[in-house]
A and B are shown apart, each in its own frame.
Chain A
Amino acid sequence: MRHRVRAAAALVAAGALIAAGCGAGSGTNEAGSPKEPISLRFQSLAFQPESIAANKEIVAEWNKANPNVKVEYVQGDWGSVQDQLVTGFEGGTAPDIFHYESSYLRDFADRGNLLDLNDYLTDKTRRDIRPAIWDTATFDDGVYGMPFLLDAFVVFANKKLLDEAGIKVPAPDDPWTWDEFTANAKKLTKQGRYGAAFALKSPANRILNLSLNFDGKFFAQQDDKSQAVFGAPEKVVLQRIHDMLYKDKIAAPEAIGMGGADTLPAFFDGKFAMVPSGIWLRQQIIEQAPKDFEWVTIPALKGTSQTQAAAPQTLSVSADTKHPEEAVKFMEFFLSPKNQARLANGDAMVPASQGALDDPVLTKTPGWEVAVASGSFLQKAPFQTVKGYEEWKNKIANPSIQEYFQDRITIDQLGQKLVKDGNGILERYQR
């Protein structure tokens, strides 16, 4: 009798396994079909109308295909997400799946707030994204986020002014060096017009990012501890921008305090000929530019290399979720190559998915060749793994770099602040 029961149980188990195998191979979106209907909360930070629409559509498609795993779409916002997540994790009310950026995940991962995705991600998902991009959300061998939108620092230029000055737009495989960029900014500077305008309201991330062009790393490992460093490679980009501002006077000093899209009115008016910015600015230019305004995207500048830090937007799963498998399945569905193309199109950014890069939704957008080329040189930067980086950035780097760009301190004084004061902060995180 007991043998019969065991045999029956084995048959049922085998049947269930076969059924599960068939399900997995059938390409449906069903998340393991839980017996009881469950619900998951997904918080998105989508901002552009097209992107919000794409987010909602994809969630609706999931809900239609997976009636037992209902996903509730919650609209978050970039300005308050950090405070909201901190309190949400402390109080056990964080969303099951949330949208954020890889740079901010380290602290949450260290506090045990995030699910390690290693045990859940399929090989197909892993293969679809370059290892260098996965690295940005990998800490101590744990994968705490799935990257999906990449940004890179490129240059937007007024086409008419370039033509007038006889400057040719470089191809993505033959980018300008910083020297060529400076020379062209000089050519474009005239009475009442600056050749370039750097919007550096919160400059630290941007400067550390661009300094990788000259192998400037700002941090080094000593005895398993991260230390802030400031040598010749770290000085190059800072010094170049400073020279453009105050020595050559070819970059607009008033733009230094600007953020986001604040430079655009003067760019459209021809007062700023070139605006270095994240690739996301394409969306704002498309939306706001006067109809007769012609613009081009100039590939990312080259120092000794074009290397920039990747800080992709990510989806992560809360460690407290009651349904980790279903949450990751939803995440993989949401970030399938086809869906990443829709999301990247909505935000005018570059998808992390290799499979999304050829999607016609993206290839027809202005400046796409430059955008897609940017994806190849993005990689994890040393500063992205430093514990205490956020505090170092907010308390020391941002205000000090601003002082330097306002010409109130010298580059050596800046270095002293970044290293001496900065290491005081880092020390606390490494005890």
Chain B
Amino acid sequence: MMTRTSPSRRALQYLALAGYLVFLAFPLWWLISTALKTPQEIARIDPTVIPIHPTLENFRTAFEQQPILRSILNTLYVAGVSSLVTVGLAVPGAYVMARYRSIVGKSTMVWVLLSQIFPFILVIIPLFLIVRDFGLFDTHLGLIIVYIVWSMPFALWMLRSHVQSIPIEVEEAAAIDGASRVRMIREILAPLLVPGVVATALFTFVSAWNEFFFALVLLKSPELSTLSLTLVKFIGAEGVARLGALAAASLVATIPSLIFFAIIQRHLTSGLLSGAVKS
């Protein structure tokens, strides 16, 4: 029996939702607001939410002093490629780990878990030496390979759970209907895996987009710099930051990832599993 929500209860729900939206949007608004403020307004003891004398000077400073656009393109390239390759490799790997029970699968999972224990400060010097010896130091390719290797354990783990959450009966039903394994994976399993693949792709993309330390150590040419390396240049000795220019640059840097999210996010909630199996 359907129960009707009372108007007062509904109003409270909307209020809570609005509060939550404000909570989520506030940091982004603060970024926009800071990017539009003068240094004097940023240094006020009673901060203003809406800039009193909005200015685009911070954007001019940011673009004049650091190659923001080039860094965004570099980061898009590195994060995009590493995300695609990670997911491309992780999907078949995760399928095998989820569906084929063997000692290799188990030991692989243990190894995957173990590899997550090491903090990257521990591996950075040997990793740096390996990358250099392969002639990949100061190249995007070297950084992409490191990002793929670094994200792979989590991607495998995440996708394995997604594959496991798809009932085996779906595959069995397809097999009974005469579908080959390849056809079953392509036409039955792949669409069901889309939310998991998207979530994994988002994770690897965002990890690479935000990553700082590997990029710092593995790149040296300014023209190869990724965004995190460029943004940190707005912070000086004793932690003093040029907040206006930093906010302006960060805001511009957020736009491509926002667009990427906007395009990809609907796949996250597509709920393809619903109705796949009658309970």
Binding site for B on A (CB under 8 A): 41, 45, 47-49, 52, 74-75, 77-80, 83-84, 87-88, 90-93, 95, 201, 259-261, 264-266, 268-269, 271, 278, 280, 284, 287-291
Which one of A75, A278, A280 contacts B233 once the chains associate, using CB atoms below 8 Å? Answer: A75
Q: How far is the CA of A78 from the CA of B40 in the complex (A)?
A: 24
Given contacts A268-B43, A291-B40, 18 further A-B contacts (CB under 8 A): A49-B61, A49-B65, A75-B66, A77-B235, A79-B232, A87-B124, A87-B128, A90-B125, A93-B132, A93-B137, A259-B239, A260-B238, A260-B240, A271-B45, A288-B42, A288-B43, A289-B43, A290-B40
B232-A77 in contact (CB<8A):
yes
Residues of A within 8 A of B213 (CB): 83
A83-B217 in contact (CB<8A):
yes
Q: How far is the CA of A284 from the CA of B242 in the complex (A)?
A: 9
B42-A87 in contact (CB<8A):
no
Binding site for A on B (CB under 8 A): 39-40, 42-45, 61, 65-66, 124-125, 128-129, 132, 137-138, 212-213, 216-217, 220, 222, 232-233, 235-240, 242
Q: How far is the CA of A27 from the CA of B138 in the complex (A)?
A: 38
Which one of B40, B44, B212, B239 contacts A260 once the chains associate, using CB atoms below 8 Å? Answer: B239
14 residue pairs bridging A and B, Cβ less than 8 Å apart: A47-B236, A77-B233, A87-B125, A90-B128, A91-B132, A93-B137, A93-B220, A201-B239, A259-B238, A260-B238, A268-B45, A271-B45, A278-B238, A291-B40
Closest to B66 in A: A75
Nearest CB of A to B123, in Å: 12
Residues of A within 8 A of B65 (CB): 49, 52
A91-B129 in contact (CB<8A):
yes
Which one of A48, A93, A265, A284 contacts B45 once the chains associate, using CB atoms below 8 Å? Answer: A265
Q: How far is the CA of A87 from the CA of B131 in the complex (A)?
A: 12
A47-B61 in contact (CB<8A):
no
Residues of A within 8 A of B232 (CB): 77, 79-80
A289-B61 in contact (CB<8A):
no
Nearest CB of B to A295, in Å: 13
Nearest CB of B to A46, in Å: 9
Which one of A87, A201, A278 contacts B217 once the chains associate, using CB atoms below 8 Å? Answer: A87
Given A91-B137, A268-B43, A288-B42 in contact, is the A74-B239 Cβ separation under 8 Å? no
Closest to A87 in B: B217
Q: How far is the CA of A393 from the CA of B212 in the complex (A)?
A: 26
Q: How far is the CA of A45 from the CA of B238 in the complex (A)?
A: 12
Q: How far is the CA of A83 from the CA of B39 in the complex (A)?
A: 31
Closest to A51 in B: B236
Closest to B216 in A: A80
Q: How far is the CA of A312 from the CA of B137 in the complex (A)?
A: 32
Most buried by A among B213, B233, B242: B233
Closest to A201 in B: B239
Closest to A288 in B: B43
Residues of A within 8 A of B40 (CB): 288-291
Nearest CB of A to B58, in Å: 11
Nearest CB of A to B40, in Å: 5
Q: How far is the CA of A52 from the CA of B222 in the complex (A)?
A: 15
Which one of B132, B216, B222 contacts A83 once the chains associate, using CB atoms below 8 Å? Answer: B216
Q: How far is the CA of A201 from the CA of B237 in the complex (A)?
A: 13
Closest to A259 in B: B239
Given A87-B125, A289-B40 in contact, is the A78-B217 Cβ separation under 8 Å? no
Residues of A within 8 A of B43 (CB): 264-265, 268, 288-289
B222-A75 in contact (CB<8A):
yes
Nearest CB of A to B57, in Å: 11
B236-A288 in contact (CB<8A):
no
Residues of A within 8 A of B138 (CB): 93
Residues of A within 8 A of B220 (CB): 41, 74, 88, 93, 95
Q: How far is the CA of A264 from the CA of B40 in the complex (A)?
A: 10
Q: How far is the CA of A90 from the CA of B125 in the complex (A)?
A: 8
Q: How far is the CA of A80 from the CA of B45 in the complex (A)?
A: 30
Nearest CB of A to B192, in Å: 43
A79-B235 in contact (CB<8A):
yes
Given A49-B61, A84-B216, A87-B125 in contact, is the A265-B237 Cβ separation under 8 Å? no
Nearest CB of B to A327, in Å: 17
Q: How far is the CA of A87 from the CA of B65 in the complex (A)?
A: 26
Residues of B within 8 A of A77 (CB): 232-233, 235-236
Residues of B within 8 A of A49 (CB): 61, 65, 242
Closest to B137 in A: A93
Given A201-B239, A288-B43 in contact, is the A74-B222 Cβ separation under 8 Å? yes
Q: How far is the CA of A114 from the CA of B99 in the complex (A)?
A: 56
Q: How far is the CA of A250 from the CA of B142 in the complex (A)?
A: 56
Q: How far is the CA of A278 from the CA of B240 in the complex (A)?
A: 12
Q: How far is the CA of A353 from the CA of B124 in the complex (A)?
A: 39
A48-B236 in contact (CB<8A):
yes
Residues of A within 8 A of B61 (CB): 49
Residues of B within 8 A of A271 (CB): 45
B240-A261 in contact (CB<8A):
yes
Residues of B within 8 A of A52 (CB): 65
Nearest CB of B to A223, in Å: 35
Nearest CB of A to B41, in Å: 9
Closest to B131 in A: A91
Residues of A within 8 A of B129 (CB): 90-91
Which one of A45, A47, A95, A290 contacts B240 once the chains associate, using CB atoms below 8 Å? Answer: A47
Residues of A within 8 A of B128 (CB): 87, 90-91
Q: How far is the CA of A52 from the CA of B240 in the complex (A)?
A: 15
Residues of B within 8 A of A266 (CB): 45
Residues of B within 8 A of A83 (CB): 213, 216-217
Residues of B within 8 A of A80 (CB): 212, 216, 232
Given A79-B232, A83-B213, A90-B128 in contact, is the A288-B39 Cβ separation under 8 Å? yes
Nearest CB of B to A79, in Å: 5
Closest to B221 in A: A74
Residues of B within 8 A of A91 (CB): 128-129, 132, 137
B240-A284 in contact (CB<8A):
yes
Q: How far is the CA of A284 from the CA of B236 in the complex (A)?
A: 12
Residues of A within 8 A of B137 (CB): 91, 93
Residues of B within 8 A of A90 (CB): 125, 128-129
Residues of B within 8 A of A288 (CB): 39-40, 42-43
Residues of B within 8 A of A259 (CB): 238-239
